[in-house]
Amino acid sequence: MSELIEIRNLVKIFPPNVIALNDVSVYFHEGEIHALIGENGAGKSTLMKILYGMQPADSGQILINGKTVQFANPGEAIAARIGMVHQEILLINEYTVWENVVLGMEPVGLFHRIDRDKARQQVRTKIDEFQFNLDPDARVADLSVAARQKVEILKLLFRNVSILILDEPTAVLTPQEIPQLFDELRRLRDDGHTILFISHHLDEVIELSDRITVLRKGQKVATIDTKDVTEKMLAEMMVGREVIFDKIKDGIPPGVAVLDCQNISLRSPITNKMLLQNISFQVHASEIVGIAGVEGNGQLELVEVMMGLRAADQGSLKINGSDLSGSSILERRKFMAFVSQDRSRMGACLTASIKENVIMTHHKLNSAFTKSAGFILDFAHAASFAEQIRKTFDVQLNSIEDEMRSLSGGNQQKVILGRELSLDAPFVLLDQPTRGLDVGSIEYVHHQIIQMSHDNRAILLISADLEELFRITDRILVLHRGEIVADLVTDDTNITEVGYLMLEGADHA
């Protein structure tokens, strides 16, 4: 095997003070599957984006077949036969499969009219060549996530790409869909393609790759042959210390029912499809209930209905006996704390100050935050409250007057948790609260959640991360196509069973 790509001393800085890549050098051989692993923020994606021409490097070189290259945009990278499949799938949902695949290299006839028959034929040939099992005329919006991923790969293969970069391709797949992807990737490798594969799932990396490069905090730790390592060794290289992911939820007996959802249903006004179907469940005091499911199976809609952003077609929602089904968001907030997966849109206002972020909702519910009959804000009280959260939740910040976006993701999440937990609500709704956080922050958040359960609160945790659910929940509900298909005691089930239910629903289990 020869050295296909050589990366020399790459440096990338994100002002004001993040060094995303610090003098990284690495080789990729032709015809190998090479895994890049590291924690969030280790620089894996940045490295690949620079290689793909999406971001410029601040210094360093990239050589392909011994020649220095510098791609100004992905188009140039593709011309050099390098293609990348992103974490968030980059397709046009409104277009069909063939339209997406040929975009940018459409076969045309007179007046630049697209030769549809020819395009369709070309795409079909590629599909057959790689045995992808796709319908060229299907609209991308109607496809599953796994199928969309295939379309992206197909799109690159259509451009005769020989080096394929995949950024966490398994993150959006169910456990059952992963082996198929791996088979396809192996087949591509055996066909002579080179595959660069970003992941933080160690088992996957060991199963699939030929060699592994470990990154930590922007620096390369090592490049090693897969056959020489174990999961434990990799984990230590990644984190720089030993990690244990054991179950930490203690079995304190649950108290009275706090949250009571009955028969919540929601129909899409556009497609008329049922988005939520007869959702009924309870969460008790001191209990942590998890909701497992592949993304897009009704989690978002459930959150919207529970928070009052959207009215359900039927069903009721009660907390401590109060019926909140028709209540305003403000009324609900007296009973509910809410941590969203989407910090930038739902959880915080990134361009407002930290102080202004922490007083949200409190300014409505707690009269200590206002003066003159609720007309004027008490900024002195707001400041002392913000300082208190900073201390209690150990937030790393310069000044509470700084904009929220100046904080790291983990610190933003601490501020949000601080705000929501200070509300003293009996019920806490957590929607993927650890998404995008590094290991240390995840650890911190998990312990906060356990702490909440000790405070007698009822907690609902929506998560796509099964390990997380198994670590801290008492019960797991599985959401599949808007229906709860299983209600399992965490100690009596296992990851495989839940994974299967997530994918197939109850009928096939």
Partner 1 sequence: MNVIIGLINGMISSATPLLLSALGGSLTFYAGIFNIAMEGMMLSGAFFAVLGSYFLHSWVAGIICGILGALLMALIFILFSIVLKVDEFVTGVGLNMFSLGLTTYLLRQIFSVKGAFTNPGIVSVPRIHLPFLESIPFLGKIISGQNLIVWLALIATIVCNFVVFRTQFGLRLRAAGYNRTCLDTSGVSSNRIQAISLIICAVLCGLAGSFLSLGYVTLFSENMSAGRGWISLAAVILVSGKPLGIALVSLIFGLADGLGLYLQASLPSQFTAMLPYVATLIALFFYSMKSINTKVEI
Partner 2 sequence: MRNFIINLAGILIAFLLGAIVMLFQHYNPVETYGALFGYSLENMYSFMTVLKNAVPLVLTGLSASVAFASGPVNLGQPGQLLIGALFATIGGLYVDLPAPLMIPFLILLSMLGGAIWSGLAGLMKQFFNMDEYITTLMLNMIADLLTFWAISFPLFEKKANHPQTPRIFRSGWMPKIGDFNTSVIVMLLAFAVVWFIFYRTVSGYEWRISGKNSLFARLGGVQIEKNYMRVMLLTGALAGLSGGLIIMAGPHRFIKGLGANYAWDGIMVSMVANNAIVGTLLYGIFFSILQTGSLGMELVTQVPSELVTVLQAVIVLVVVASRGYFDMILKQILTRRKMKERTS
Q: Is 78 a residue that touches partner 1 (CB under 8 A)?
A: yes
User: Site for partner 2 (CB under 8 A): which residue of 346, 408, 409, 450?
Assistant: 346
- For residue 305, the cross-strand partners are none
**Sequence letter at residue 12:** K
Rounded to 5 degrees, φ, ψ at 128 are: -65, -40
- Least distance (Å) between residue 351 CB and partner 2: 5
Taking the CA atoms of 92, 94, 98 and 103 in sequence, report the sign of the dihedral they define. Answer: negative
Contact flag: residue 376 with partner 2 (CB under 8 A): yes
Task: Mark 270-309 with x for binding to partner 1 (rule: CB under 8 A) and - for no binding.
Answer: x---------------------------------x----x
SS3 64: strand
126 forms part of the interface with partner 1 (CB under 8 A)? no
Peptide bond into 74 cis (omega under 30): no
* Residue 351 sits in the site that holds partner 1 (CB under 8 A): no
Instruction: Examine residue 80 and tell whether it contacts partner 1 (CB under 8 A).
Output: no
Stretch that binds partner 2, among 13-21, 138-146, 190-198, 497-505 (CB under 8 A): 13-21
Q: Considering beta carbons, is residue 69 or 349 the nearer one to partner 2?
A: 349
Site for partner 1, residues 18 to 77, rule: CB under 8 A: 54, 73-75
How crowded is residue 129: how many other Cβ atoms within 10 Å of its Cβ? 11
171 binds partner 2 (CB under 8 A): no
How far apart are the C-alpha atoms of 70 and 57, rounded to whole Å?
A: 9
CB of 440 to partner 1, least distance (A): 31
Among 145, 360, 383, 450, binds partner 2 (CB under 8 A): 360
- CA geometry: angle 317, 467, 442, nearest 5 deg: 85
Write the interaction track for partner 1 spanning residues 221-260; mark x where CB under 8 A is met and - where it is not. ----------------------------------------
Using CB under 8 A as the binding rule, whether residue 11 contacts partner 2 is answered as: yes
> Which range touches partner 2 (CB under 8 A), out of 311-319, 364-372, 430-438, 461-469?
364-372
Query: How far is residue 365's CA from residue 424's CA, in Å, rounded to a whole number?
Result: 11
Contact 133, 165 (CB under 8 A): no
Place of tokens 């991308």: 140
| Least distance from partner 1 to the Cβ atom of residue 63, Å | 22
Indicate whether 243 belongs to the interface with partner 2 (CB under 8 A).
no
What gap in Å lies between CA 44 and CA 37, rounded to an integer? 7
SS3 track for 335-391: CEEEECCCHHHHHCCCCCEHHHHHCCCHHHHCHHHEECCCCEECHHHHHHHHHHHHH
The answer to whether 309 contacts partner 2 (rule: CB under 8 A) is yes
Q: Considering beta carbons, is residue 167 or 356 the nearer one to partner 2? A: 356
Report the C-alpha gap between 48 and 20 in whole angstroms.
12
Closest approach of Cβ 314 to partner 1, in Å?
Answer: 18
What's the min distance (Å) between Cβ of 161 and partner 1? 11
**What is the secondary structure of 128-185 as a DSSP string?**
HHTT----TTSBGGGS-HHHHHHHHHHHHHHTT-SEEEEESGGGGS-TTTHHHHHHHH
Interaction of residue 350 with partner 2, rule CB under 8 A = yes
Touching partner 2, residues 49-68 (CB under 8 A) = 58-59
CB neighbour class for 496 (10 Å; exposed up to 12, middle 13-18, buried from 19)? exposed
Q: What are phi and psi of 403, to 5 degrees?
A: -70, 150
Residue 355 contacts partner 2 per CB under 8 A: no
Q: CB 475 → partner 1: shortest distance, Å?
A: 29
SS3 of 392-447: HCCCCCCCCCCEHHHCCHHHHHHHHHHHHHCCCCCEEEEECCCCCCCHHHHHHHHH
What residues from 308 to 327 belong to the interface with partner 1 (CB under 8 A)?
309-310
Nearest alpha carbon to residue 14 among 36, 39, 45: 45
Q: Which of 24, 36, 91, 208 binds partner 1 (CB under 8 A)?
A: 91
Binding site for partner 2 (CB under 8 A): 11, 13, 15-17, 19, 22, 58-59, 307, 309, 328-330, 333, 338, 340, 345-352, 356, 359-361, 363-365, 370, 374-377
Binding site for partner 1 (CB under 8 A): 54, 73-75, 78-79, 84, 86, 90-95, 99, 103-106, 108, 111-114, 155, 159, 268-270, 304, 309-310
